[in-house]
Structure 1
Amino acid sequence: MKAEILCVGTELLLGQVLNTNSQFLSIQLNDLGYDVYRQIVVGDNASRLEQNIKESLARVDVLIMTGGLGPTKDDLTKETVAHAIGEKLVLDLKSAKRLKNYFIDKREAFNENKKQSYFPKSAVILPNDMGTAPGALIFWNNKKILILPGPPKEMETMFLKYAKALLAYSQGEFYSEKIWIAGMGEWEISKKLNESGLWNLKNPTVATYIDHKGLYIRITSKMETQQKAEEEVKKISHKIQKNFGLNFVGINEEDLITKTGHLLMKENCTISFAESVTGGMMASKLVGVSGISKVFKESYIVYSDEVKIKNLNVSKHTLKKYSAVSREVCQEMLQGLKEKSDADYCVATTGYAQEGEESSGLVYIGVYNGKTIHIEEKKYKGNRHQVRIQATMDGVNLLRKKLLEDVSRETN
């Protein structure tokens, strides 16, 4: 079935508010088996909103709208939907009673917000457990129109608790799986999938995505039963895992940071960081993994030469001869960190993130397991933040790979 998402609010068009609702709803609809054709943003303008509602309903089976359910004059969603489908707004007594109880000592506030209790006549009302504006599901001409509040917490709670089950349909069962990949760009992943004959599959489908946690491949299958769909996804998943080797990180919730943290805890290996260019970002990422305190020893942000000398015993001679951004300084940072923390694994970064300079993006990342030091030279593109993010993720990935290699060596 086909679906579109229509988010309402001038603040979204002006960029004053980040539209996270579309991303959340697209993921949820994908899990339900819908094909999302469009994501649309319309300002608080009744005529343009009605035009987009009518156009969407002519194209798809389900239209999901967020925003415009408040009590003010520019909250136009319900009125505009009602006009577009030829229905009147009627008072929902349960919603009015709930709103009255909410403003039990504020009669004036209740009167100002009473507008939130009116809905198109055929609407099924969805309670708002996180706010005052209820949502609604309207069945019209074999179509579904889902109206949700704009604030993300309200919208997500309402969708998951009340709306999702009402949108489910039984035209086959879906199963999908995320496969996290590290150490490769999106184009490299696509190329490898294509060379493996896994890129243009029809069912299951294979696609690449990127978010703040990294890169992943999503495999989705639709079959007559969920078991069959899962079996088809697993077949492709095993092939991808084999083809990508050490670049394969984990499945579903096992993104790069989570997987690395779990590996450290599983092997009972302690970790310490000395970060210059990444400024504590690697340590901060891993601290977010539940239970990491069992193995996390210490972390230093050693941005200046003076601090590198003071905290890690990096020699003045090495800094003067090779500069702070060099393989030699990275090595001494690792050695000094090992001597200071005696962690099983020590990780260090040093580099240039300043934009507009010839050396910008040059970063050295090193891992020391107490026996051997491994240092990689990287040359990143992008602005200051992008360079630091790439170095952070590559540093954690290098740690993960060295840990896996050491574990494999010990068990063989």
Structure 2
Amino acid sequence: MFPMVDPSRSVDPFAINKRVSIYDDTYSLHLNCAGGPKPTEENKKRHFFSPTIVLETGLAMTSTVSWNQTLLIKLRNIGLFLNSEEGFGSDLRVCFYDRAGYGFSDSGPMPQTAKRNAEALYETLKAAEEIGPFILVGHSFGGNIIRIFAHAHSEQVAGIVFLDSDHEDRFERSAALWPAKSLDAYHAEFVNMATKMGAAGALASPFAAGDRLLVDEFSKMQVGHVYTAREIAATFKGKFFKAVSSEMLNYVHTNPPQIRKTVPYAPRTNLPVSVVIAISDITKYCTPKPRVPRDSKQFTNIDAENDTPASMCEPLHETNLAPSLAAAEAQAHFEGQWKLATQLSRVTRVLFVESSHYVVFDAPDAIVEAVEAVVLEARRFARGEFVSWHETTENQEDEELVEMEDDYF
């Protein structure tokens, strides 16, 4: 059963926004956590299911850039309807951090891989005494990191949300669909980008903000995101380019085998999962056809036994080879999303959103919707565990069960 939360340990007065030392003070990562049950005397006596949302950024995106304040507040407010009694927990706890070298975090050991990042995230949460259970939210490359985390620490994970996340088969599948661009060619592209990042890191001061050309280049890469002065100061430092360079060098050949070692793919088949798919990333291959409108609060539920990829997204071509590189990459991406939705769990929802790959900019409400669905499902699962546990416990009065259920939920 998931650990029940001690409201006295995870509350607003103990919100943190600091660097947390890990691995015997080898280096520190910046962690920001806020929200959670209110510290009333009554709450200190009560334990209940209140998960903590943990946010993981994509490649080359600091937490300052990825998670704006409006989104963070909306995520915390998901908990309002869960525990709305007077004096009881009014919101959920939300944590975000910067990987080694990113933002306000120190540089870390090299190479910087998905596995090493997942282990560092676990150590950071443990050192900060964030007790979970955790709802892991990962954008792009961050999806790889949270999968490794969930596999290694399944007892602490209550649900997963993928935001247009990568899949380990992406490049191999694209190369198979468009042989003119091999897996090694993809690797060479990332090596080229890593070299440029490494050069930028070598030329930049560890503390100096990047020049205008670098900022403009990142803005173009991230579909025109306009960097604020605060985001520039938190992002463009020598250690950031060094970290991104290492992640890119390991992107194609090193990370996929690490993720494949997490098979079975999920801690359990009833793990609540939401998969948010950016339509712009798949339109060269297929047209989404969800069984419900793409309005707010409307997800498509996956039936892993009966659904097929074509039942979710109507293909534009029906051949073993793609008609273009763009179509091959779109098909590989969609098939990866399908695997995330069907191989990880039987409790999965998919949401197509009118968005670029950078859903953190384009579709913040969809992120809230996806997290809310997982929180609700995790809560139902926890309730079922609680009742099952009680039924196997001898000499427990029914009245006591009712009282404990009220406290727990």
Query: Which protein has the bigger strand share?
Result: 1
Q: For this structure pair, what is the TM-score category when the shorter chain's length is used for normalisation?
A: under 0.3
Q: Which has the higher contact order (CA 8 A, sep 6+)?
A: 2
The structure that has the greater radius of gyration is 1
Q: How does the TM-score come out when normalised to structure 2?
A: 0.24
